[in-house]
C-alpha cells in the first residue's frame, strides 16, 4: 500500500524524489511541478517510466 497520502502530496514543495513504495516515485521539480515515475526492471536493466503529472 502507498506511503504518501493525498494531503502530503498536495503540500510537498521541496524539490526531490519521494518514494511511495513498490517502485512508485513522486518527483517534485524546482518551481513546483510534480510527476509520477514507475521504476521497473526489464531484462536485467532498470527503466524509469513516466506516468504523468499530479
Residue 1 lies in a domain: no
User: Read out DSSP for 3-32?
Assistant: S--HHHHHH--S-EEEEEETTEEEEE-TTS
Q: Do 26 and 12 touch, CB atoms closer than 8 A?
A: yes
Instruction: Write out pLDDT tens, residues 8-44.
Output: 999 999 999 999 988 999 999 998 899 999 999 999 9
CATH number, residue 16: 3.30.160.390
When divided into structural domains, the chain yields a total of 1
Residue 18 lies in a domain: yes
Cα–Cα distance for residue pair 14/23, rounded to 1 Å: 21
- 52: Cβ–Cβ under 8 A, 6 or more apart, which residues? 35, 36
**Residues 44/45/46/52 CA torsion (nearest 10 deg):** -110
Residue 13 lies in a domain: yes
So what's the pLDDT on residue 22? 87
Residue 28 lies in a domain: yes
pTM over 0.85: no
Domain of residue 20 covers 6-53
Amino acid at each position: 500500500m502507498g506511503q504518501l497520502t493525498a494531503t502530503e502530496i498536495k503540500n510537498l514543495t521541496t524539490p526531490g524524489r519521494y518514494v511511495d513504495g513498490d517502485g512508485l516515485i513522486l518527483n517534485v521539480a524546482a518551481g513546483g511541478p510534480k510527476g509520477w515515475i514507475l521504476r521497473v526492471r526489464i531484462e536485467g536493466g532498470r527503466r524509469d517510466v513516466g506516468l504523468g503529472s499530479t
